Structure 1
């Protein structure tokens, strides 16, 4: 039996360290050397997996997707109940849980790079499309089991995520906890209306 490659676990460890560093010091101040120092490895080992800081950022964007997809995890008891699963996902998306999956400052710093870097733009587009596709598939499952009648699942999923993206961008500016909670609840209600759910 051959020895298992450490490539993927090591890459993940490096990306997670880079994320922690970016969260603490800002993406612009995070570096290969600081990342290596944080996990007590030689910088050349980081560069073995990620040739430049730019490549580390590519990995970070993929890490964001992995984190955000956790919102679609459904408890086993609801796996065969698409309506309940959809409600859970909407509740998750419009909750503090969604907003704590990944640090806003790091996410928005990465997102700002889409205006200057085509590869990062493509990765972000894939990330956002994947989230929409997952929600669309849940809506289609509900339609197939005749527990919902959404005419255009793809369009509806897109509208819900437009609402989500705008909501969190705006709410990141809110200092008042009551205002944050009230507005988030209002946005969630609108998402349920789009689905024909109360």
Structure 2
């Protein structure tokens, strides 16, 4: 059990180093040698845990997912209405936007057009994020907080809005008033999709 835990810790350390190097130099310029240098180990140790750069990318995708999951705040104390509001606030927050470097995210995402396994891995990540949001929406449905019919469909539409928003917003300076206005408008659109009942607003 201890050995398995050590393996996971080592893999996490390598993935975090891979992410740091990719953030500094670009994913296309990141190599096993550079990752090894980042954490001051031999190349062979990296290859002991990950057979190739593609395997490192699979690990990176899981790392991205784990980071995004942290903002779903599953242990949030409060009712389903508070939890839903907090989750949507998080999805459109600066914190969500800055969790993962855009250059690393989009560079690794571009590989879905050339690598079927990476495409499936990304697809799984996106499905997981939608499922987490759908579960929170279903709680609100059960408590008669929202007037929607299909939680999964609503979660998917909200994520399409989130992903499209940040793709578009990456073209703007995040410190400007214009940027903040756009984020506010997109978040309001997400709340409109949820059809939160007047009496619980």
Q: Could you tell me the TM-score, scaled by structure 2's length?
A: 0.93
- The structure 2 residue matched to 1:131, chosen from 126, 129, 132, is 129
The answer for the alignment partner of 1:57 in structure 2 is: 57
Give the conservation status (yes or no) of the 8 Å contact 1:32–1:53: yes
Distance 1:165 1:187 in 2: 11
Give the conservation status (yes or no) of the 8 Å contact 2:76–2:83: no
3-state SS of paired residue (2:77): helix
The answer for the alignment partner of 1:171 in structure 2 is: 169
Q: Could you tell me the TM-score, scaled by structure 1's length?
A: 0.94
Report the CA distance shift for 1:175/1:3 in structure 2 as closer, same or farther (over 3 A). Answer: closer
Describe the superposition over 1:29-63 as per-residue Cα deviations: whole angstroms up to 9, x where unpaired. 11101101110111100000101111111111111
Give the conservation status (yes or no) of the 8 Å contact 1:139–1:150: no
Counterpart mapping for 1:141-152 below 5 A: 141-152=139-150
The answer for the alignment partner of 1:7 in structure 2 is: 7
Counterpart mapping for 1:1-198 below 5 A: 3-5=2-4, 6-74=6-74, 76-78=76-78, 81-175=79-173, 177-197=176-196
Report the CA distance shift for 1:90/1:3 in structure 2 as closer, same or farther (over 3 A). Answer: closer
Give the conservation status (yes or no) of the 8 Å contact 1:69–1:131: yes
Aligned length: 195
Gaps of 5+ in 1: none
CA RMSD of superposed structures (Å): 1.3
Shift of 1:196: 1.3
Shift of 1:76: 4.0
Gaps of 5+ in 2: none
